[in-house]
Amino acid sequence: MAQSKEMTAGPCLPLIFNFTLPLLLGNMLQQTYSLIDAAIVGKFLGINALASVGASTSVVFLILGFCNGCCGGFGIPVAQKFGARDYVSMRRLVSVSLKLAGMMSVGIALITCLLCAFILRTMQTPENIFQDAYWYLLITFIGVPCTFFYNLLSSIIRALGDSKTPFWFLLFSTVLNVLLDLLCILVFHWGVAGAAIATVFSQGVSAVLCYFYMYRKFEILRMQPADKRFRPELARQLIFVGVPMGLQFSITAIGSIMLQSANNALGTACVAAFTAAMRIKMFFLCMLESLGIAMATFCGQNYGAGKPERIWTGVKAASLMMIVYVAAVAIILWGFSEKFVLLFVDPSETEIIADAALFLHISVSFFPVLGLLCILRYSIQGAGYTKLAMFSGVSEMIARILVSVVAVPLWGFWAVCFGDPTAWVFADAFLIPAFIYVYRRLRLIVARERGDIRMA
């Protein structure tokens, strides 16, 4: 029998670290696949194929980021009810979230599939990579329901304090993905489309297995007939929390699309350098993202349990872990960026290698800013203030648009390298006072519920 776990008592640092570790391993697996996928495409299909995969990266993030954000948001009320030990409401929230996921994911898939060509034209995708980019994007969007359900089920399991089970399913998905990649590209010769098919199929299989495992192994999720009814009031609650969280990712992605469009206009070599550097950067961001996800569950459970003071203690513990990690990563990326880029391109591609290394050197210098962003944003979301967290995405979008419109035409790829760091600084400028506001408000709410006039 799988075990749920409460994080409402005990030392915060070891609790957060132990919860984060499986998330980190899972994210590293996911990014390892992404690295291998890009390496297979770049080495066996060439620079144009690598660029065609990267040309639509920000669009994929726009759509899948919205889906993943909604899934994470749907898990927050579940975590809060679990922390409050209100298991009946928790089960009903799970049931309604699955029904919402079905409706939303199919609608998103239909709309985005119809808009693929328009999106790529709008992004100034170079003509020599347009066809491959179109098929990659189309197949990815067809697979939106697979991605949506896999991430929702993983979010629900994490809300119960179990971050290990999603890791094992992700391990299975990653191994299957890599094997299918090799089969589709090297044996069936399906090219870039084969890479997308492998990803969609492996996520679909993992979603099905995750669903059956969740209901068979978690006794507190065993539902009565009354729990399975669609309840509009719970649907509104989930949408109120989940959609702003999804929109936060999408709003952030709009700025990324603008930045990538500006980069696409610089030519295929810059697109390839950007693609390789982004794959490497995302791999090393795994810890920061995992720490943030852990803080969402930690804050959700502790708010539900009426212990807001543990949220502040948790943020300090997470920040300490972040600083240690960022210091280690800075040493690695400053010393070995060029070596990592060689995973994707031949040593003769000196311009691409130099540009990708420049991108990584600038990015890693701002990782502490990004680490703080992840911790504060997810903590605010975990407390249920997803609309407030969404505005940090607006700050990021504004920063990236300014860089794309003003700086890239003047300074080219150098400006592209500063696009994300500028966005992180803008976001932190909003998130720091926002977190202080949320923390004080949580303390006030809990104090009133306890009848503690002095605290209020």
Q: How many domains does the chain have?
A: 1
Residue 67: closest CA among 102, 22, 35: 102
Q: Whole-angstrom Cα distance, residue 178 to residue 186?
A: 12
Residue 294: closest CA among 9, 22, 86: 22
Q: What is the pLDDT of residue 422?
A: 94
Residue 308: closest CA among 88, 85, 80, 89: 80
| Residue 238 half-sphere exposure toward CB, CA atoms < 13 A | 28
- Parts of the chain with a pLDDT under 70: 1-5, 33-35, 54-56, 58, 450-456
| Residue 107 half-sphere exposure toward CB, CA atoms < 13 A | 8
Q: What is the pLDDT of residue 306?
A: 84
On whether residue 6 sits in a domain, the answer given is: no
Residue 100: closest CA among 73, 60, 131: 73
Q: For the packed helices 419-450 and 309-341, what is the interaxial angle rounded to 10 degrees?
A: 160
Q: Whole-angstrom Cα distance, residue 97 to residue 429?
A: 33
On whether residue 373 sits in a domain, the answer given is: yes
Q: Which residues contact 328 (CB under 8 A, 6 or more apart)?
A: none
Exposure letters 347-372 (e unless 16+ CB within 10 A, then b): eebeebbebbbbbbebbbebbbbbbb
Q: Whole-angstrom Cα distance, residue 346 to residue 344?
A: 7
pTM here?
0.72
Q: Which residues contact 4 (CB under 8 A, 6 or more apart)?
A: 82, 160, 161, 162, 218, 220
Using the Cα atoms of residue 170, residue 26, residue 394 and residue 410 in order, give the sign of their dihedral.
Answer: negative
On whether residue 454 sits in a domain, the answer given is: no
On whether residue 4 sits in a domain, the answer given is: no
Q: Tokens in use for 289?
A: 């993202």
Element (H, E) at 340: helix 309-341
| Cα 364 to Cα 90, 329, 359, 393, distances in angstroms | 40, 8, 9, 20
| Burial environment of residue 236 by CB neighbours within 10 A (0 to 12, 13 to 18, 19 or more) | exposed
Q: Whole-angstrom Cα distance, residue 411 to residue 150?
A: 41
Amino acid at 204: G
Q: What is the pLDDT of residue 124?
A: 77
| 186 C-beta neighbours (distance < 10 Å), count | 12
Residue 132: closest CA among 263, 32, 259, 41: 41
On whether residue 456 sits in a domain, the answer given is: no
Q: Tokens in use for 228?
A: 């399975």
297 and 158 Cβ atoms separated by less than 8 Å: yes
On whether residue 1 sits in a domain, the answer given is: no
For residue 409, give its domain range.
Answer: 12-449
Instruction: Check residue 129 and report its DSSP letter.
Output: H
| Residue 317 half-sphere exposure toward CB, CA atoms < 13 A | 23
Q: Whole-angstrom Cα distance, residue 456 to residue 435?
A: 18
Q: Whole-angstrom Cα distance, residue 194 to residue 370?
A: 33
Residue 121: closest CA among 31, 62, 55, 51: 55
| 328 C-beta neighbours (distance < 10 Å), count | 11
Q: Whole-angstrom Cα distance, residue 276 to residue 337?
A: 11
| 70 C-beta neighbours (distance < 10 Å), count | 31
| Residue count of the chain | 456
206 and 351 Cβ atoms separated by less than 8 Å: no
Q: Which residues contact 301 (CB under 8 A, 6 or more apart)?
A: 6, 7, 8, 79, 80, 82, 83, 161
Q: Tokens in use for 262?
A: 């500006």
412 and 266 Cβ atoms separated by less than 8 Å: yes
